Structures are given as C-alpha cells and as structure tokens.
Amino acid sequence: MSGHKAQKPETITAQALGWIDAETHAVAPVVHASSTYLRDVDNQYRTGRAYARADNPAYDQPEAVLAALEKGEAAMLFASGMAAATAVFQALAPGDHVVAPKVMYWGFRHWLIDFARNWGLEIDFVDMCDLALLKQAVRPGKTRLVWLETPANPLWDIVDIAAAAEVTHAAGARLAVDSTVATPVFTRPIEFGADLVMHSATKYLNGHSDLVAGALVTRAKDEHWERIAGVRARIGGILGSFEAWLLLRGMRTLFPRVRMAAANAQTLAHQLAANPHVSRVLYPGLPEFPGHAIAARQMKGGFGGMMSIRVKGGERAAIATAAQVGIWKRATSLGGVESLIEHRASVEGADTPCPPDLLRLSVGIEDAGDLLADLETALAIAHG
C-alpha cells in the first residue's frame, strides 16, 4: 500500500488504495488464479491461505477498496448480488423474524417468498417509506434483521436510512441496506446507522455489463458477519479470480462514471417531465418526487442514474416506445456505461408493483442530448 493516506474516495478508487505488487512492483493489480496453496512442512498454513473457496487473495484488494469506500470494517465478495443478499438471510436461524420492503428488486423478493420462508424465517413486507409501519412491523427481541433498499427498484422510493436504523436498533435487530443504485459515490449507509451494506456489483461497481458479482460490507466483524463468511465458504457462492480482477478494474472509474450517469439522468428527468407523451417521471432528483428531501439529505452530490417514466397510453404505448429506440438498448440490468430501457411489468409478472405503463431507464454516459432525442422520437412514433 502507498505510504500516503488517501483522503478522498475518488483517490481510493482511482488508485485502488495505491497497492503495488510486492514482487514485481506492478502498478496494475495481478491476477491470482490458484485454487489451492502449499502447506508448511509441519502441515500448517502459516500464510493464512488454504483453499480459494474460503480465502482467495484475488479478493483482498477489491474488498479493501470497498470497505474503505463504505467506511466499514470489512467487505466480502460473492458470485452475484443474489448470492450476497441471500447469504445475509442464510446466516440467520429458523424462527428469526425479518422485515423487508414491499418495493425492492423483484428477484430477491421472490427468493424471500419462495425459499427463505420455507427455511423457517418469518418475513413481513412493509412500505419502508412509512416509518410508522416499520415501527409496527418490528418485534423487539424477535426481529433479527431489517432489510431495505434505497432508491428502491423500480419505483425509486427513498427510505430514510437514519430513521430506519433508529427503529431497527431499538428492537435489537440489524439493519441491512441494498445500496446498489445509490453507490458509495452518493450514499454510505453505514454513516447513517446501517450495519450491513449490499451491492449487486454487476451494476455500478463494475459498470461495464461484462461481469456478475455481489458484495457485502459490514460495520463490525461480529458473530453474524462470521456466519455470513461461513455461508460463503460452505455453500460456495464465490467469485472467480479473474472476475474479482475485472471488478477492481471497474471500480477504479466508479466516480466519473456514476457522476456522469447521474448528471445525464437529472437532465433527462427535467426534460421528460415536460414531454406530452409522459404522464410522470419517477426520479429522486426532481423536487416534486416523494422522498426528494430525504434523498437530498442522504444522497450527497447527485441522485443516481436510475429513473422510470410512465407513458401516456398505457402498456401498449410503453412497449411500443421501447420498440422504437435506437441508442437505448432493450435489455435487463442497470449501471453500465450504455443506456438501457425495459418494460418491467412484463419481466416481473403478476405481483409486480410496477404500473403497466412504466419503462425503467438505466441512464448511461452517452451524450445526454442524443439520449433525449432518441427517446423523444420513440415516444412520438409510439403515439402515432
């Protein structure tokens, strides 16, 4: 590591903490590909490395960078965002009570319903934007975990992390925050009282749509954190060495990428709010958006690159609009350098909170004028 302290998160990411390979003095990180490690002659592992599933040196640097960014004590990489999120719940015990949001990533919501409940966890889904409902849902001495997501995919609801942390801790539970969309560029949930932070690292942390990964960051390396580490090692939801290297490379441009995407999204949100074919724009950066004041307080310097629009004319017009774009790509996922558009109700199914007229937009780093012109043309064509 460099002998100078990295004072700013921009420096932490750009230099990846300034680590230099001790053997070669390489500035670019090396790839650690080995799956196993040599024992000492007396059969001990004094290096601390035994097998890559439990302890891979390829994880050391990206985990250290992420922990530094989130101001946590430690971080842990996983094979996907789902692997990271589910590990938090798999580290709980049957009979434990959990509170989760009604609006959240649909794949994880389905996992909680279809799998976690079958394993004996009690789960209540509540509107996390309503603090009174959260207070009613937690059970002191029984609730072990409160999970929230902010901004919450795909309606971009904003949850007050500090207020949720106060309620959660008063009940003797831990607060975990899915901060995939906010990223450490705009929000560091641990600073607001969160105990755990989750990222689908596939998205903004990597930022190039060429990797699937997940990550957790903890405020403290407590007993629950050690159980999560055991889940990763024993169930095996691990990231490959080359994928860990790719993730670290992506994180080194995190700040300029995310800031540019957020600036583009802010521009588009204001312009699309005035479009005659759009009934509503869902974006935390708009003053009229519910939760804007909270977002302005806990999202420092920007409101992220994710937004949704509700298209006049209903589902037919929304799907027709997505069919007419050229620069925007009709694809699942978010957080890449390219802009994506998707009709989410078609993806999420009958129990989706998405209105049928909603299009989810992952705003990339292209020219904002090009993105706006492409979308406005598609809206005009769809409305004939």
Residues known to be catalytic: 53, 105, 178, 203
Three-state SS at 17: helix
Give me the phi and psi of 157, to 5 degrees please. -55, 145
Q: Is-contact 57 36, C-beta < 8 A?
A: no
What is the end-to-end Cα distance of the chain in Å, rounded?
Answer: 60
- Strands of the 214-218 sheet, one edge to the other: 74-78, 214-218, 196-199, 174-178, 143-149, 97-101, 122-126
Cα–Cα distance measured from residue 84 to residue 300, given in angstroms and rounded to the nearest whole number:
25
Tokens describing residue 144: 């072990």
Residue count of the chain = 384
Q: Which long-range contacts (CB under 8 A, 24 or more apart) does 377-381 make?
A: 377/324, 378/321, 378/322, 378/323, 378/324, 378/325, 378/326, 378/328, 379/275, 379/277, 379/278, 379/311, 379/321, 380/277, 381/320, 381/321, 381/324
Q: Which residue has the tokens 């008063």?
A: 170
CA dist., res. 240 & res. 242, Å (int): 6
Rounded CA-CA distance 85/215 in Å is: 8
Kindly state the tokens that stand for 130.
Answer: 């309503």
| Residue 36 DSSP code | B
Give 310's strand partners: 280, 358
- Which pair of structure tokens corresponds to residue 353? 């909170």
DSSP string, 210-248: S---EEEEESS--HHHHHHHHHHHHH--PPPHHHHHHHH
DSSP designation for 356? T
Q: Return left, alpha or beta for 360; rule: phi > 0 is left, psi -120 to 50 is alpha, else beta.
A: beta
